[in-house]
Structure 1
């Protein structure tokens, strides 16, 4: 089968949408910890509390966002609200964060966690599922649009590291500019072929609460959720304060920050390159196998970082993340489409891929922050790596195989027959 798709005229706005949103994501997740350490002067436990709140509050947002997204389908009410709230990131960190911190460190964790969770931890599933459904309706591969997110990671790592050294608060104003661009794209650019909306599961008139609640009875939802709670959540927790660990290999913080910027750029460049062939690769090996491979690579990266004797080895293991993200992002989108009811796509994605994951992030962010202070980064990473290994091993035995036709990994037999007939007719005419 030829898995390549001709990108429609309604394709090109979506990679830029991915770019603008994930630029915000890359800046906040890459440099918020550093900002809190050097500007706000928070310790590991206090920084971990902010990330825990981001994850904890998202447990409220994600189920609601999932159901609402399935009901709205291609209506932009929710996704536009998230983009507009993102515009206030710069003003918040410039004028609001420090006054709240002076009142109470726990209060600033709650407020910051709620604010960022709405945009990032809760909002990411809204962005992802919207573009995924648009890809089904418009006839393009989701991963090809997600390349925009990879480019955003490269640009963010190159730009944010430098402007942070110049003026730390400027990284958040860069997020504000990206959110303004995102809002404009959603209003004026991103178009969906509504004539083909049924391909993405037109649920606007058929989805009721009984159907939504039935998803909790599916055993495979819980298996996928457990996998995400172990593998993907610890991937995020590992990365939260990784820059602090990385800087310990250098004589000065500035030197470590600069090398970190180059390393992140190389990682996202690898991610960018792999996003193009990844749909073809996943179609060959299957999305379930893609998820399992992702889990084992994550385990190797965490354990390898913990046991690295110098920063060169750490960089080598860090670059594996360039393979991890294309594997995960392409596999999970195809897997949910192939293993669950397409009408409940956003609900399943929000619950299994985000809600369950954020439960784990909520728990482990504070625990990891405390462990960093008590037993150090290396020993904490070893424990994380072991947990990821056993969770992935669990998924090997219990995660259900997807339907390859429904997942878009192979053509339906009738479609293949039709293609063969058309080819035969063409040859006869020739």
Structure 2
């Protein structure tokens, strides 16, 4: 919960902070996001392999917490100075830091949550809902502070990181089911199992969906907050409404997250991924057609009925089609890593499009591309439906 509080405080308004406080245009903002994606791309395979090797050990999570403590000094002193002197240096340093703790780190943390949930007999969605609550509380608080004192937002992040360190030091993973623990210990990963994934057709088809739909959607959402404020009389008014709207949206996400496991168990992981793809495409196209504050706000709320389904469905899809011992690696490489690869190029291209042809035309193009890849995924994603998590060897899946 505390990690997602910090994550929401620093990422939800990042594009606004870069344009309003950093003085960047959409193209330069896209460069920063591309740099973050490059760094995340470098970190995620490493985080995935290490996470699978560590299992339930907390070493990697302690690394993230240690880095999060410096979020306040970074945004208040270091990053603004870099943005004003050298955009490339700012992109390199800012990308490395933010890519590690957010774009790269969030995947490792979600994979850890999923592993804990699996071993203790909980649905991932029920545990992840506390992350939504933390993010909702964060946007409610920081949304009001952003217009008055944005520096305070990041100092709150540092304070929450220190609190997270205290709480995490007392946290216990709980007692896993004996059979699950035995399986984790007895079935060590065979040598070359990670490399074997790249010979697996299902793995590449999953990456195709992620690149063509998930990556496009993430790039679209990077500067959506800037576009949103254009529908209001002043940027400050738009920022305030955006903060309140995101808070409401995340509470809706929490409700959908609770229901997500039941929905996905009913319709299957593949259909859930296709549903999420159609909603993402519709939201992007809808953003290009919105003609007022009410319309764009309704379009924003569509995020609440898509992202919980996507997050839970991706883990269930992995459980149904791959070896669970490689779950963190598959999630971080096949889902998170592949999104960052595409975002490296698309973030700057999209940012330039916003400055040249405008947000509406850019969003219409992005939405159309995502829709095409969603339709292709009807035929390329595997349709096996699995209600109970089972281990499937990587060789057999291929």
Scaled by the length of structure 2, the TM-score of the pair is 0.94
CA root-mean-square deviation: 1.7
Does 1:185 find its partner at 2:167?
yes
Q: Secondary structure at the match of 1:404?
A: coil
Select between 179-188 and 136-145 the one with higher mean Cα deviation. 179-188
TM-score, length basis structure 1: 0.87
* Counterpart for residue 63 of structure 1: 45
Point out the structure with max Rg over C-alpha.
1
Please tell me whether residue 273 in structure 1 is matched to residue 255 in structure 2.
yes
1:69-84 matched pairs, under 5 angstroms: 69-84=51-66
Which residue number corresponds to residue 29 of structure 2?
47
- The offset of 1:139, in angstroms, is 1.5
Which residue pairs with 2:335 in the alignment? 353
Q: Is the 8 A contact 1:70 1:203 kept in 2?
A: no
Preserved CA contact (<8 Å) 1:231 1:391: yes
SS at 1:140 equivalent = coil
User: Match of 2:370?
Assistant: 388
Aligned position for 1:296:
278
Residue 203 of structure 1: CA displacement? 5.9
Aligned to 2:180: 198
* Deviation digits for residues 111-149 of structure 1 (CA, Å, limit 9, x no counterpart): 001001110111112101111110111111110111112
CA distance in 2, matches of 1:66, 1:234: 23
Q: Write the distance in 1 (CA, Å) between the matches of 2:139 and 2:378.
A: 34
Query: What are the superposed Cα offsets for residues 11-43 of structure 1, whole Å, 9 maximum, x if unpaired?
Result: xxxxxxxx2111222122211111111111111
1:378 aligns with 360
1:284 and 2:286 correspond:
no
Q: Pick one of 86, 95, 103 that aligns with 2:85.
A: 103
Give per-residue Cα distances to partners, 1:329-380, cap 9 Å, x unaligned.
Answer: 1111111111101111111011111111111111111111111001000000
Question: Once the 2 structures are TM-superposed, how far is the Cα of residue 197 of structure 1 from its aligned partner?
Answer: 7.2
SS of the equivalent of 1:42 reads: coil
Alpha-carbon distance change, 165 to 197 in structure 1, aligned in 2, over 3 angstroms:
farther
Would you say 1:337 and 2:337 are equivalent positions?
Answer: no
Q: Cα distance 1:83–1:205, how it changes in 2: closer, same or farther (>3 A)?
A: farther
Query: Which secondary structure state, in structure 2, belongs to the residue aligned with residue 249 of structure 1?
Result: coil
Cα contact 1:71–1:203 (8 A) shared by 2: no
Give the superposition deviation at 1:192.
3.3
Distance in 2 separating the partners of 1:293 and 1:31: 27
**Uncovered stretches (5+) of structure 1, i.e. residues with no partner:** 1-18, 409-430
The number of residues matched between the two structures is: 390
